[in-house]
Amino acid sequence: MTLKFISQIVKKQACSILCVGLSCVAVSAWAAYPDKPIKIIVPWATGGATDQVGRLIAQPLSQALGVPVVVENKAGAGGVIGTQLFVKEKADGYTLLLATSSTNAAAPYLYSKLGFDPVTDFTPVVSLCSIPNVMVVPTKSPWNSLKDIVDASTKSPGNYTYGSAGIGGSQHLAGAQFKTTANIDIRHVPYKGSGPAAQDLVAGHIDMMIDTGSLGSIKGGLLRPIAVASSKRLTVLPNVPTFNEAGVPMVASAWYGIVLPAGASAEVVNRLNAEINKILKSKEVSNKLVDMGAEVMGGTSAEFVKFTSSELKRYEAIVKNSGAPKE
């Protein structure tokens, strides 16, 4: 055996050892994620549907990952303020955003200075669910049908109000759609989240709301459901007609998903995607979402990318047809 041959063997062994070592380092680094608390930024106030979805996911995700997962509410401007803050965060997997159809699909057509790009500033992780909007009024309201609302608004144009979680939110767009489709004049009152808007609705400070998170107040007898803005009746509200059935043909729903800042690693995305999909398939979480009137989604990161891309195109037409002004 020549010295040259021995030298070649040594070099090959050294390379093999180096490769194994690097592989171990990579596996070790991957296994270490996460090793500190994770936060989910919810760009809306507490109490609304977005906040409810975020908190519903946070607890089981914390159990799955073995670290605290906390929800931070950063409300304002229809979810835009919290989203603007989020895109400045590190893409290390420790800050997630509960993205919505309002912030990541409708907002680009509602704000001239958005402060983030809905495509390049995010790494989609997984879609969570979609929730149809429901027209609700206070239980003391004299209205019992969509026709009652249309008739009253026609007789007194500009006299009645509808609330929303903010400009560009699903409630705002649904209300604008309703105005256009029913050819009535009702005034928009934006809030910093669904929770504060719903509180004022229960108190009678506003007249109506087309909301995604009112089922708790409906079951509690605080609000009366008038119509659901979906293609079919909701299982949890079987006696409430759709807008189409009530004579105002429109469909309006909000969707929710988890995203990371741009540049997040595939390993982190895949880990979070796998864990959240397991959570969505669990009976406890899926049943709670269904009780909210939601349709559970889930799927791969690539599917979420395709979905958000199609939603951007779809919302361009929705915003245009709604007549909602650009800020």
In a domain, 311, yes or no: yes
State the pLDDT confidence band at 31, using cuts at 50, 70 and 90.
low
Region 185-201: what's the mean pLDDT? 91
Q: In the structure encoding, which two tokens stand for residue 53, read together? A: 């979805």
Q: The domain spanning residue 309 has which CATH number? A: 3.40.190.150
Same domain assignment for residues 49 and 123: yes
Same domain assignment for residues 59 and 106: yes
Same domain assignment for residues 41 and 76: yes
State the pLDDT confidence band at 291, using cuts at 50, 70 and 90.
confident
Q: Which structural domain range is residue 299 located in?
A: 37-128+255-322
Residue 300 identity: T
- Range of lowest pLDDT (28-32, 62-66, 75-79, 312-316): 28-32
Host H or E run for residue 29: helix 3-32
pLDDT of 273 > 80? The answer is yes
Predicted local confidence at residue 325, as pLDDT: 66
pLDDT of 25 > 60? The answer is no
Region 181-194: what's the mean pLDDT? 92
Region 216-235: what's the mean pLDDT? 93
Which of 111, 84, 91, 114 lies closest to 268, judged by CA? 91
Same domain assignment for residues 118 and 138: no
Predicted local confidence at residue 30, as pLDDT: 47
**pLDDT for 99-110, tens place per residue?**
999 999 999 998
pLDDT of 318 > 90? The answer is no
- Cα 266 to chain centroid, rounded: 22
Total structural domains in the chain?
2
pLDDT of 16 > 90? The answer is no
The per-residue b/e assignment along 89-115, b for 16 or more CB within 10 angstroms, e otherwise, is eebbbbbbbbbbbbbbbbbbbbbeebe
199-205 long-range contacts (CB < 8 A, ≥24 apart) are: 199/47, 200/163, 201/136, 201/137, 201/138, 201/163, 202/138, 203/138, 204/138, 204/140
Same domain assignment for residues 115 and 259: yes
pLDDT of 28 > 60? The answer is no
Same domain assignment for residues 220 and 192: yes
In a domain, 239, yes or no: no
Q: The domain spanning residue 149 has which CATH number? A: 3.40.190.10
Predicted local confidence at residue 326, as pLDDT: 75
Same domain assignment for residues 221 and 168: yes
Predicted local confidence at residue 321, as pLDDT: 73
Alpha-carbon distance of 271 to 286, in angstroms, equals 20
pLDDT above 90 covers a percentage of the chain that reads: 71
Predicted local confidence at residue 33, as pLDDT: 95
pLDDT of 14 > 80? The answer is no
